[in-house]
Amino acid sequence: MTTILIVDDEEGIRSQLTLAMEDLYQIITAATPDEALAQAREQRPQVILLDIALSPYSGSQEGLEILPQLLEIDPRVKVIMVTGNDERQNALTAVGAGAFDFYVKPINLDELKVIVKRAVYLRKLEIENGEMASALKQHKSFPNIIGTSSKMQKVFKIVETVAPTPYTVLISGESGTGKELIAKAIHGRSDRADKPFITINCGAIPETLLESELFGHEKGAFTDAVAQKVGRFELADKGTLFLDEIGELSLALQVKLLRFLQDRIIERVGGKTVIPLDVRVIAATNRSLVVEVETKRFREDLYYRLSVIALDLPPLREREDDVIVIANFLLNLYGNENAKTNLSFNPSALQRIRSYDWPGNIRELENRIKRAVILSGSHRLTPEDLGFERTSGTEQKSLLQVREEAESSHIRAALARNNWNVSKAARDLGTSRTTLYDLLEKYKIIKDK
């Protein structure tokens, strides 16, 4: 529970304020500077209401004088200076010296409660933003994969268990969820760690070239085969081969891959001999291979061979508070890279990070933070720095606005799911490509990578 310290020499004010707030917060009080400092040290209040004068003598500034000491005890404490009208200038000085806000007597309880509430809220956000978040149990063995949510802790456990085995692993997850990062972690924790980790993106290479990319070819195997070529399988011998976007593999190549997984041999294109290899395969997909199997685009037998160990990475929006921790981790990382230290998110930025549904997952978070670090002129990043449009939490939205926002984020999600393939996304959304292109134009949606 939030603890609030009320420092005032007037007993009447102390009890009035206590009464007004004691069912919301735990209230402690102090009448003198010494008492105030002792309470601050022992009880660690999150918010302090501090009377500027703190003594019946006019001209006293005892409250103001202990402000630096209170902030030294806890730099994050939110101090609200309470002042008489004639002390307004002192109140401003206090804010300059690190007080959170000030309030001019006579006290209107409803107003003061709002200020206190804001202070409590801000303090809470700052804690989530900083120390507490990083003190959460980040898995020590995976320093570069941030995840304190229960879902990620499970992922780490599976990775630890399967890494030392020779089993094939199939990693599935939406775009940007960290599939490649996890694949590398598995390799790095296996006894193949000092052997090659070779990756190939099956969706990025034209089908005609993919076969010789994977398996290599002999000289003269086809018109352009002017020399012998060693494929990625052979390059990965004794190590790990990461087959990204495995769902894009043609049926013909699926047969060749199946053969390797069954017999641990390959044949170069145009080759006459079989080559035995010791390669661990890790595959990744951002679409459901089960659906691909049902629609006969993916061989069922290959699916079972690949998914000996199936690891499903949850989307970022299902990882509890991870998003805040990862955001801070990345802010630090890119801050350091760009020689900008002491960067932080302002409270509304944190709120947006928390409430946004991250269709592009960590990749999108990373891109938004990178851009903000480079472009922002200030240390406190705002939602606009992160590329979010300006909205205040209390703002009333029109129906049209709500509809448009929903439409735009729905489209983004469909694109992310389909790896930014517009035809596929259009099919998913039950609309035509032309309409979708118009909408991309309207909402200024561009692929961020």
Ligand X SMILES: Nc1ncnc2c1ncn2[C@@H]1O[C@H](COP(=O)(O)OP(=O)(O)OP(=O)(O)O)[C@@H](O)[C@H]1O
Chain contacts with ligand X (rule: CB under 6 A): 145-147, 173, 175-181, 286, 326, 362-363, 366
Q: Which of helix, strand or coil describes residue 30?
A: strand
Q: Which is nearer to ligand X, 363 or 368 (CB)?
A: 363
Rounded to 5°, angle at Cα 58 from 56 and 61: 85
For residue 277, what is the enclosing H or E element?
A: none
**Residue 309 amino acid letter:** I
For residues 76 and 406, give the distance between their C-alpha atoms in angstroms, rounded to a whole number. 37
Identify what 362 binds: Mg ion, ligand X, none; CB under 5 to 8 Å per kind.
ligand X
Q: What's the half-sphere exposure (Cβ side, CA atoms, 13 Å) at 125?
A: 17
CB of 428 to ligand X, least distance (A): 17
Looking at the Cβ atoms of 64 and 202, the one nearer to ligand X is: 202
- Shortest Cβ 179–Mg ion spacing (Å): 5
Q: Are 340 and 373 a contacting pair, CB within 8 Å?
A: yes
Which one-letter amino acid corresponds to residue 152? M
Decide if 29 contacts 72 (C-beta within 8 A).
Answer: no
Nearest approach in angstroms of CB 326 to ligand X is 5
CB of 359 to ligand X, least distance (A): 12
Q: Which is nearer to ligand X, 13 or 181 (CB)?
A: 181
Q: Which is nearer to ligand X, 123 or 363 (CB)?
A: 363
Biggest CA-to-CA distance, the chain: 102
Select from 75, 128, 123, 103 the least CA-distant residue to 6.
103
The structure tokens 């990043």 sit at 381
Task: Using the minimum distance from each CB to ligand X, give the nearer residue, 238 or 449.
Answer: 449
Residue 196's SS3 state is coil
Residue 328 near which of Mg ion, ligand X, none (CB within 5-8 Å, type-dependent) = none
Closest approach, Cβ 228 to ligand X, in A, equals 31
Task: Using CB under 5 A, list all residues that contact Mg ion.
Answer: 180
83 binds, among Mg ion, ligand X, none (CB under 5 to 8 A by kind): none
Minimum CB separation of residue 134 from Mg ion in Å reads: 26
> For residues 74 and 180, which CB has a smaller minimum distance to Mg ion in the complex?
180
What does 175 bind: ligand X, Mg ion, none (CB cut-off 5 to 8 Å by kind)? ligand X
